Structures are given as structure tokens and as C-alpha cells.
Amino acid sequence: MAEKKQGYHHGNLRQALIDAALQLIEKKGPGGFALSEAAKQAGVTPAAVYRHFSGRDDLIAEAARQGYEIFADVMQFAYDSGQPSALAAFEATGRAYLAFARKYPGHYIAMFESGISVNHTPDLALIAAKARGVLEKAADDLSQHIPPEKRPPASMFSAHIWAMSHGVVELYARNSPGTQSPFAPEDLLESGIGVYLRGLGLIRPDD
């Protein structure tokens, strides 16, 4: 059997299939490969895949779950690095989004471009909520500096920044055809967040 020739230890095959899927996702997109290709790249028979995953969506969902685990850690580290300044912590989480997309493109695509719902499995839903929670906490901290009558819900605040970060990544940080910008993605995101925060009165117009 091909599995034995590869010398896989117990548990290694499952991760080898995920790693193969991540490479294929990055090269061909989440819908551009078959399970048999992931099996071939991992050095096993197609039948071996079904011992661990019910189908391609299940495999991609696990790649997304692992991505969200990394993402949650990256976001938490960014949030902690900005303490005790709520503003610095919030801005750091925005930059962390872009940094994650650059460093982990396969995971990023599995998470946000595969069409796989975060509710595909309970574990995926849980870790995705944890990642979103870091940005929402950063937004909530910063919101305390806004008068209550003018304060947007933290979930809306964080959703705006998440959407802005995602848009910058999709349009300008992933080499989309015809969408080249004269500005670096990092500069676009930083200036966009700055405009948003000035609108809320969280930073001075001249900052």
C-alpha cells in the first residue's frame, strides 16, 4: 500500500491530506481540485482519504478550522501587543488580519473563499467565533471612549473594520487582475481605519 511506503505514523496521514489540500487550494482554488489529487499529493490511494474525511468539503472545512486556530492566535497576540492602549490594540488587530492573509494564503482561502460555512462543524463554528471575538473585544475597549449616545454596538464597529480589512486583502493584497493600487495594502488599510476612527471622534483630525 502507498501509505506504508510513505512511512506514515498513526495520525500523520490525516494532517498530510490537509497539508496537500492547502497547497492545492492555494494553487487551484478551493473548487479546482479533486480528492484524488489531494490523495496523490499525500502519497496515498483515494480510498484512504475517506477514512478521515467524508468528502472534499469536509477536508476543506478542517483546513479552515486549522486556519481559524492560527488566526485567533495571531489576532490575540496583536491585541495583547497593543496593551494597555485600546487604540494601539485595535489598530494592531487590523494589521494582523492583513499579515495573516499574506502568510497563510491556503488557510485564508479555505476560511473565506471556499463557500464552506463556519457552521459546517461545531469545532469550526467555535474557533471562528473565538477569532471574531478578539476583534470585537478590541472594538468594545475602544468604544468606551465614545459617549454612550454616539457609541455604535461593538459588534457593528468590529464588523466594519473586518469588512474593510477583508476588502483590502481581496482587492489589493491577493493580486486580483485589474485592481492594482498605487498604494501599499498596509497603507490603504491604515488610512481607512484612520478615517473611520476620526469619524467616531476617537482620534483627532490632525493625527
The tens digit of pLDDT for each residue in 11-30 reads: 588 899 999 999 999 999 98
Express as a percent the part of the chain with pLDDT over 90. Answer: 55
Are 9 and 43 found together in one domain? yes
Are 100 and 20 found together in one domain? no
Alpha helix (H) residue ranges in 113-153? 122-143
Cell (9 digits) for 110: 479555505
Identity at 52, one-letter amino acid code: H
Are 137 and 72 found together in one domain? yes
Last residue of a domain, one of 20, 36, 53: 53
User: What per-residue confidence (pLDDT) applies to 179?
Assistant: 61
Within 8 A by CB and 6+ apart from 148, the residues are none
- The domain that holds 35 is classified in CATH as 1.10.10
For residue range 41-97, list pLDDT tens digits in order.
Answer: 888 888 888 888 988 999 999 999 999 999 999 999 999 999 999 999 998 998 899
Query: Rounded to the nearest 10 degrees, what angle do helices 56-81 and 105-112 cross at?
Result: 110
Are 40 and 73 found together in one domain? no
Cell (9 digits) for 129: 467565533
